[in-house]
């Protein structure tokens, strides 16, 4: 579920999603990349459209918390349970994410540090107007739900190939790669548990 077209975050997170698919050996399917315009209602309509496909998605990767609200409304209207029937992973670790059972799987942005860095950049530019512009990339924190953690652990231990576990691993591959939208490079998630090596790329 991509955000508003033209935003840098939309472009980079979509790029991260495609990177995740590629690195997990999955093909990018254009009709599964819907536009939610960074708002709840467009996202609800977009997810409803995805669920109406002949082969609807079993996992959703949502670009921000507003669109997460819309996605969850569409899933509720379709009477689909999270995560049993559709896996959901979202960008922005909003304050009420932990009120769900199980907790929503999210990517938490370092909002406080983002604000502090912006102020430091502004002050340094005011002190030296001729200074060349700088771009700072901060590290996001992956916040998996307890259920997802358990499923990944089981998959690592059993090497299971069931569709249920497979769909969640697909969601994780795709979702974690969205970090590239915050880190600025194609930085892959490293997990000793799953044996995923850390890897970087341009």
Task: Please tell me the distance from the alpha carbon of residue 128 to that of residue 186, in angstroms, as a whole number.
Answer: 32
Domain boundary assignment for the chain: 8-183
Listing DSSP states for 82-117 in one string gives: TTTTSEEEEES--GGGGGSSSPPEEEE--HHHHHHH
Q: In this predicted structure, which of 18-22, 98-102, 152-156, 188-192 has the lowest mean pLDDT?
A: 188-192
- Residues in contact with 32: Cβ distance below 8 Å, sequence separation at least 6, in sequence order: 50, 53, 57
**Average pLDDT score over the chain:** 75
What are 104-160's pLDDT values in tens digits?
788 888 888 989 999 999 999 999 999 888 888 888 888 777 555 555 554 455 544
- CATH of 8-183, picked from 2.60.40.1250, 3.30.470.20, 3.40.50.300, 3.40.50.2300, is 3.40.50.2300
Mean pLDDT of 1-24: 90
Say what the pLDDT of residue 43 is: 96
What are 143-152's pLDDT values in tens digits?
777 555 555 5
Which letter does DSSP use for residue 176 in this model? Answer: H
Q: Examine the pLDDT at 40 and tell me if it is beyond 70.
A: yes
């Amino acid at each position: 579920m991509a955000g508003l077209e033209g935003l840098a975050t939309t472009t980079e997170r979509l790029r991260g999603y495609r990177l995740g698919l590629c690195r997990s050996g999955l093909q990018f399917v254009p009709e599964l990349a819907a536009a939610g315009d960074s708002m709840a209602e467009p996202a609800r309509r977009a997810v409803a459209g995805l669920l109406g496909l002949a082969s609807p998605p079993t996992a959703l990767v949502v670009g921000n918390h507003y669109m997460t609200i819309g996605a969850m409304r569409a899933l509720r209207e379709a009477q689909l349970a999270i995560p049993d029937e559709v896996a959901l992973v979202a960008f922005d670790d909003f304050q009420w994410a932990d009120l769900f059972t199980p907790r929503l799987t999210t990517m938490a942005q370092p909002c406080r540090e983002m604000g502090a860095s912006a102020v430091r950049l502004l002050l340094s530019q005011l002190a030296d107007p001729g200074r060349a512009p700088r771009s700072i990339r901060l590290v996001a924190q992956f916040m998996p739900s307890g259920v997802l953690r358990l499923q990944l652990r089981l998959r690592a231990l059993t090497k299971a190939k069931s569709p249920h576990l497979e769909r969640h691993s697909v969601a994780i591959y795709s979702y974690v790669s969205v970090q590239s939208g915050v880190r600025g490079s194609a930085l892959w998630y490293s997990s000793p548990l799953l044996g995923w090596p850390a890897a970087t790329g341009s």
